Amino acid sequence: MVCLAACGEGGPPAPVPGEAPPLTGERLEQGREIWLGTCGNCHARGVAGAPLIGDTAAWAPRIAQEPAVLHAHAIDGYVGPDGTMMPAKGGNPSLTDAQVRAAVDYMVAASQPPQ
């Protein structure tokens, strides 16, 4: 006998911390490409306290902030109250502000709890 408890639950699966799921929409697809090339270096492994993409608990307090705050921290760099550090533009100064915002929006979308 096989029992599949998750069948019939509906909705998307829960995010998997550290994995970059493909998401639809031009902006999110662009953000994923930036994530794969730059952001994932830290956000796939938790380097320097970076929240893992898909870790809903770690992202919840960040998501609760205004998107402009997250964008500014990613563009300009930020040192958190617990000493975690976000380098400006993820350490890739060749990224445009729009590319950084797209990557942040992608990480936020990929780190939401299932609805």
Give the distance from CA 65 to its chain's centroid: 14
Model pLDDT, residue 6: 45
Enumerate domains of the chain plus CATH numbers. 26-110 (1.10.760.10)
Q: What's the CA angle centered on 45, arms 25 and 52, to 5 degrees?
A: 50
What's the whole-number mean pLDDT along residues 99-111?
Answer: 97
Helix (H, G, I), strand (E, B), or coil: what is residue 85?
strand
Distance CA 68, CA 70 (A): 6
**Would you tell me how many other CB atoms lie within 10 Å of the CB of residue 42?**
20
Report whether 50 contacts 86 (CB < 8 A). Answer: yes
Residue with tokens 């893992």: 52
Cα–Cα nearest to 67, from 107, 20, 94: 107
The string of pLDDT tens digits covering residues 54-80 is: 999 999 999 999 999 999 999 999 998
More confident residue, 4 or 109: 109
Residues in the chain: 115
Radius of gyration of the chain from Cα atoms? 15
